Amino acid sequence: MTQPTDLRGWQRLSQHYSANKDLTMRSLFAADPERFEHFQLQAAGIFLDYSKNRVSKETMQLLTDLAREANVEQKITNMFAGELVNPTEGRQALHTALRNRSNSPVVVEGQDVMPGVQAVLDRMHVFSDQVRNGEWLGYKNEPITDVVNIGIGGSDLGPLMACEALAAFAHERLNMHFVSNVDGSHIAETLKGLNPRTTLFIIASKTFTTQETLTNANSAKTWFLESDANESDVAKHFVALSTNAEKVAAFGIDTNNMFEFWDWVGGRYSLWCAIGLPIILSIGMERFYQFLEGAHAMDEHFKTAPLDENIPVTLGLLTVWYTNFHGAHSHLIAPYDQYLHRFPAYLQQLTMESNGKSVHIDGSAVDCETGPIVWGEPGTNGQHAYFQLVHQGTHLIPTDFILPMESLNPIGNHHELLMANCFAQSEALMMGKSSEELTLEMRNAGASADEIDRLTGHRTFSGNRPSNTIMMQRLDARALGALIATYEHKVYVEAAIWNINPFDQWGVELGKQLASKIQQELAGGKTVSAHDSSTNGLINRALKLRNLHA
Ligand code: F6P
């Protein structure tokens, strides 16, 4: 297989990097007073300022050439057209069909999937209206007050993040809870204070075989039945979101209470359909449709905009530029919006489960770095925690700042302060502070020459640290939909360049296999010797100490 590094565009970028590696963003801004205007894009309510990157017009041209040579345009078409873009699992990746609000058919294996998609949305509409209106009654004829979503990974992170992001629009009576961890403390703490008569459990699992989810679901059912409810009451309090009707029935949930989705929806792309039920319960169907419309608008942009005017393509190419040419290993997500506090965690699965790969789509080894580590916290909190390292550490950490213009809670001057901090961070990262500037500043503040000399190294900032700023008018359902779709497509663009499959996740399997074996050994209670000495030692120590405390 041709390696990405064999592409002419890659080699030209290598040469371009070597020739320009000392170029600073300061000098680029000085040379072009309209750089902000020249390096910005706008679509689907999302505004991107990418001027604070180590790129010139030539760099962007070379990156776009690379994308063209790597067949990014064709790969985009293939994904939307329902080609088998996930060959290792023999599947399409048609999350875009779930938010296809255009009435155009999407054909999978000769069949238009759109009527099926709409049918599930319609069922969720009816069900969510009943719960929200208080018509759906628990076994003692009381309306639902608490919804507990039990799922993990894509069956948890997406709906949890979106419910938090849109909490300003949440239904007043319904409290949303999410249980994912197999650690019993998660479900125990969640159920404390909840009333079985008014609690609705959503068991969310694409496969309905995930150990953590089934364990939590069983514990939830036990808790429910420990009240004065009986088996026939389960139907009023448990619904399932899954592709696996057989397993749902085997668990004891009536398949009439199941909202289905399909193999061609990846777990981490499933919040747009049945897995989005908690979002619908929280914000209502009308807003959920706005959420889908926002994503659809970004899909249309991604599909039709030229590569050099395409937001997800630009973001993906910038990540390739830093990962493969500048040696960056991580990417910081800094949402300046408290409602987006789970967005970085959600993006960790989206990007790292997708692009944490070492082989090409044909199984041959890659010869370049692939997906970077994604991390982050909302601003301004991050500023008082890890921003020190981002400003003065030895790692290059490209950063995405995300900021809505309007606050949903306009109190005093909070939002002005938030915005000021966001803009200040990207300015500081880009401009830095030279020793001359520092000297002047310290001298004006009355510092002695000795003190200036002693502190110069500590108080100067190299600058030239890249960032994007992504803005929207306000964080509503439509904007959130567009934002998520932006990142989904960005990840796809990176994978297209690296020629890897972003839609499988074999890397999670080995740990699952070993855990199931070790669980049996722990349950068996006998000293083990079949593992390496560390694993044997840990298991045997756990057996011994657990027995001591039993
Ligand atoms: O273990 C990884 C994974 O398979 C994710 O890809 C998925 O989102 C998650 O587990 C949960 O899977 P399921 O929805 O089938 O329970």
Burial classification of residue 222, based on how many CB atoms lie within 10 Å of its CB (0-12 exposed, 13-18 middle, 19 or more buried)? exposed
pLDDT (0 to 100) of residue 1: 72
pLDDT (0 to 100) of residue 549: 56
pTM for the structure as a whole: 0.98
- Ligand 1 midpoint to CA 134 (Å): 32
- Ligand 1 midpoint to CA 210 (Å): 7
Atom of ligand 1 nearest to the CA of 512: 1
Q: Whose C-alpha lies nearest to ligand 1, atom 3?
A: 153
Question: Which residue, 286, 229, 231, 279, is CA-closest to 259?
Answer: 279
Which one of the listed residues 164, 353, 488, 494 is annotated catalytic?
Answer: 353
Cβ atoms within 10 A of the Cβ of 127, count? 18
Query: Measured between alpha carbons, how far apart are the two ends of the chain, in Å?
Result: 57
C-beta 91 within 6 A of ligand 1: no
Catalytic-residue membership of 384:
yes
β-pair partners for 48? 41, 470
CB 123 within 8 A of CB 107: no
Cα distance between residue 17 and residue 464, in whole Å: 15
- Ligand 1 midpoint to CA 219 (Å): 19
Cβ atoms within 10 A of the Cβ of 521, count? 19
Q: How far does Cα 353 stand from its chain's mean position?
A: 10
C-beta 470 within 6 A of ligand 1: no
Q: Which tokens hold the place of 166? A: 């849109």
Q: Is 412 helix (H, G, I), strand (E, B) or coil?
A: coil
Which one of the listed residues 21, 57, 512, 544 is annotated catalytic?
Answer: 512
In which residue are the tokens 């300003």 written?
A: 168
Question: Which residue, 266, 402, 387, 290, is CA-closest to 344?
Answer: 402
Which one of the listed residues 192, 384, 458, 549 is annotated catalytic?
Answer: 384
Q: Whose C-alpha lies nearest to ligand 1, atom 8?
A: 154
pLDDT (0 to 100) of residue 103: 82
Burial classification of residue 196, based on how many CB atoms lie within 10 Å of its CB (0-12 exposed, 13-18 middle, 19 or more buried)? buried
Task: Report residue 91: phi and psi, to 5°.
Answer: -135, 155
CB 274 within 8 A of CB 248: no
Question: Which residue, 192, 200, 191, is CA-closest to 173?
Answer: 200
Q: Which helix (H) or strand (E) holds 125?
A: helix 114-133
On the question of a cis peptide bond just before residue 209, with omega within 30 degrees of 0, the verdict is no
CB 499 within 8 A of CB 360: yes
Tell me how far CA of residue 453 lies from CA of 299, 392, 442, 457, in angstroms: 54, 18, 10, 8
- Ligand 1 midpoint to CA 467 (Å): 31
C-beta 205 within 6 A of ligand 1: yes
For a mutational test of ligand 1's pocket, the pick from 180, 206, 242, i.e. the residue with the most ligand atoms closer than 8 A to its C-beta, is 206
Cα distance between residue 22 and residue 31, in whole Å: 15
Tell me how far CA of residue 439 lies from CA of 388, 450, 462, 534, in angstroms: 21, 11, 15, 55
Task: Report residue 379: phi and psi, to 5°.
Answer: -80, 150
CB 82 within 8 A of CB 108: yes
Atom of ligand 1 nearest to the CA of 242: 14
Strands 373-376 and 258-260: unpaired
C-beta 267 within 6 A of ligand 1: yes
C-beta 9 within 6 A of ligand 1: no
Q: Which helix (H) or strand (E) holds 403?
A: strand 399-404
β-pair partners for 401? 334, 469
C-beta 180 within 6 A of ligand 1: no
pLDDT (0 to 100) of residue 548: 59
Question: Which residue, 508, 501, 511, 512, is CA-closest to 371?
Answer: 501
Q: Which helix (H) or strand (E) holds 483?
A: helix 477-498
Averaged over successive runs of 10 residues, the pLDDT of the chain (550 residues) comes to: 92 98 96 98 98 98 98 98 97 98 92 97 98 98 98 98 98 98 98 97 97 98 97 97 96 94 98 98 98 98 98 99 98 98 98 98 96 97 97 98 98 98 98 98 98 98 98 98 99 98 97 96 96 98 80
Cα distance between residue 481 and residue 261, in whole Å: 19
Catalytic-residue membership of 512:
yes
